[in-house]
Amino acid sequence: MSKGGAGFCALVNGVRAAGHGARGVRDMWSRCAMCTQSVSAEKAKKSSARCRVLTRSAKFWHVFAAEAVRPGDAVLDATVGNGHDTLHLARMVGPEGTVYGLDIQDSALTRTRERLDEAFPPNELLTDSSNSLRPRIVLEKRSHETFPESIRDGDLALVVYNLGFLPGTDPLGEQRRVTTRADTTVQSLHMSLQKLRVGGLIVVTCYIGHEHGLEEQKAVLDWATNLTTASTVHMKWLNRDQAPSVVLIEKTAQTASGNDA
């Protein structure tokens, strides 16, 4: 680890633990110079083991989402999987917010319900420091290119996608063959942009380690590159070919025509 690396990791941990979100991270960057003092080998080793920032890069979108989402907002997890992101969204919007979650697999919806019920016991206070009540949670069995009719244009502050297959399934089993596909994913992204409010965010994590992964990632990038009513960023590893990449899409204006419609 380079000089100051452990200090940087510790500062990231502090920002996260304090719940300061993206504003805190911006402050973190401005304070980076403070972390350049020498760090002992023992401290560096401990910090490295505790906080490997880059290996968790697929979740770094949480920082940007904190800027887009406010308590009481409506958000959508378009591919709930095991419910980790759904739970994070529920904590972000709080008791006055709404979380929509979609998946085509019963096992995914079951796991997500169990995770949410454990974290947000109905009619009880959370055990964590936020002490928030359970938000409104709507889980539906449907493919991600079809949204609940109750979601109107401009309703959503954030839409999250984890493309690929359901994590934790048998590599040789039938569930592993159930994956998102390029055509329906692009259809879903079109709809997400329409349902997103100006200033809202779409986060697409592209897992390419499956049969259709590269094709789907290319389709997402082609679509995002040609948008005229959004700012787009693609974050990827340079030295890990099979690692997931993350596409961030911030809506900057009402959708009009062409690729945005």
Contact yes or no for 176/213 (Cβ under 8 A): no
Q: Is the pTM of this model over 0.85?
A: no
- List the helix and strand counts (H, then E) for the chain: 8, 7
In angstroms, the CA 185 to CA 191 distance is 10
CB 163 within 8 A of CB 130: no
**In whole angstroms, what is the distance from residue 212 CA to residue 120 CA?**
35
Average pLDDT in the 82-102 region? Answer: 94
User: Residue 257 pLDDT > 80, yes or no?
Assistant: no
The phi and psi torsions of 93 (rounded to 5 degrees) equal: -85, -20
Cα gap 32→9, rounded to integer Å = 10
Q: For residues 47 and 70, is the Cβ–Cβ distance under 8 A?
A: no
Q: How far, in Å, CA of 199 to CA of 158, rounded?
A: 9
pLDDT band at 145 (very low <50, low <70, confident <90, very high): very high
The confidence score (pLDDT) of residue 174 equals: 58
Question: What structural domains does the chain harbor?
Answer: 5-52 (no CATH), 57-260 (3.40.50.150)
39 pLDDT band, cuts 50/70/90, is very low
Read off the pLDDT band of 123 (50, 70, 90). Answer: low
CA angle 177, 246, 207 (to 5 degrees): 15
